[in-house]
Amino acid sequence: MRWLWAMCWLGCSAWVQSSNVAGDAQLLQQTPAFTAQRLERYFVVELKRPHRVFSTSYVNGGHQTQLRHLVNHQSMETAANTAQLQRILALGKQRYHIEVAEHLQMDPGLMALMGTAAGMQNLAHATETFSELRVDAFVTAGVGANALRAGDPARWQQTRQGNRTVDFTGTINIMLLINQPLAPGALIKAVMLATEAKSASLLELAVASVKSPHLATGTGTDQIIVAAAENDSGFVRDSASGHLKLGELIGRSVRRATLQALSLQNRLDQSDTADALYALRRFGLSRERLLQVWQEHGSEDLFEALRGNLDAMVTHPRVVASAYAYAAILDRVQYQALPGVSAREALRDQATQTAVAVSGKPYQWTQLRRELPSDMEAVDLFALSLLKGWGAKWP
């Protein structure tokens, strides 16, 4: 059966060469198993040999073995593109799939599709290899207004009449190519590992959910395609466990590509997270709230001095470290790991440490702690600790 399958595949190669992609696209990667190209707002992978594919594609999704093209399409812009959004919603998922296939001159029955608002010029690519294994991850990512933690409150419910609207303001699309055969179960395990790697990338960047005071694990519209190449070796891997090198390569490639894609699309790098406001914004801390607390509890001169030095203060390395420690305590509180009294005292202790970080005078720890109340709103207490620390630094 396998040789018949391969003969049918090769017999259709003339049709592939006549596609719109072949003539106009920018070649990004070529291997014996696939060709990856970018054309306008499309990223297209042409499979040169049979692959087992598992995908979230509305048409031809799930486990498939006949697919020839894998497509990631920028269907709209991230903002101010309501007309395009409404047009796609009016088309419906089936017709949208066909429209993309027709534009690319492909058979819609042999294509898996993902849609996104992220720009294809911001596509990231990471390759990991070990021995005969090769894993390629192609990722587009945006988390500007759609980041969620699994289990966050959802706005929409699918009914017989369909969804009323769809959020397209952030999506992480992963296309993963593996150059060796995988059993169906191993293919699903590869999907799991890729998802874990995506979530780990968001945690590394401390991306906040837009729906809750939790760290995000993805967005509400994430999609994935994983394809494993068939060959005639007779050896089919039955596991993609994280304890195996294949699992390691999947995790490393998806993590690298996701971080790069977020850097390109959202200008979000590890260095951007070194900010006390960034660390605590999911709990309600903002520039406006800082200024409000400072104005309420400080003199006019002190307030003006703090306002003029706000950016330098919230990016001070020791203040940033204290802010993340403060966030960690707030996480333990919301997960009910700390009882009420202990939580208040722990927050007061860490707020004192923040004040010491600003003042640079650890010998004043006890005095600064006395100046911080234990019954204040958590983020206001942090803001007050900055004010008290500044007052100690410049008495």
Q: 2-272 has which CATH code?
A: 3.60.70
Q: Over the stretch 312-352, which tens digit does the pLDDT of each residue have?
A: 999 999 999 999 999 999 999 999 999 888 999 999 999 99
Q: Is residue 51 helix, strand or coil?
A: strand
Encoded amino acid at 362, one letter = P
State how far the alpha carbon of 137 is from the alpha carbons of 121, 124, 173, in Å: 15, 8, 10
Report pTM. 0.86
- Look-up of token digits 């466990």: 241
Query: Which tens digit of pLDDT belongs to each residue from 281-319?
Result: 999 999 999 999 999 999 999 999 999 999 999 999 999
**Cα atoms in the 13 Å half-sphere on the side-chain side of 247:** 13
Closest CA to 343 of 376, 308, 370, 311: 376
Nearest to 322 by CA among 292, 293, 349: 349
**Alpha helix (H) ranges present in 47-146?**
82-91, 93-103
Higher pLDDT, 152 or 389: 389
What are the structural domain ranges in the chain?
2-272, 276-393
Orientation angle between helical segments 378-393 and 317-334, nearest 10 degrees: 160
Beta strands (DSSP E) in 142-184 are 147-148, 172-178
Rounded to the nearest 10 degrees, what angle do helices 340-359 and 378-393 cross at?
30
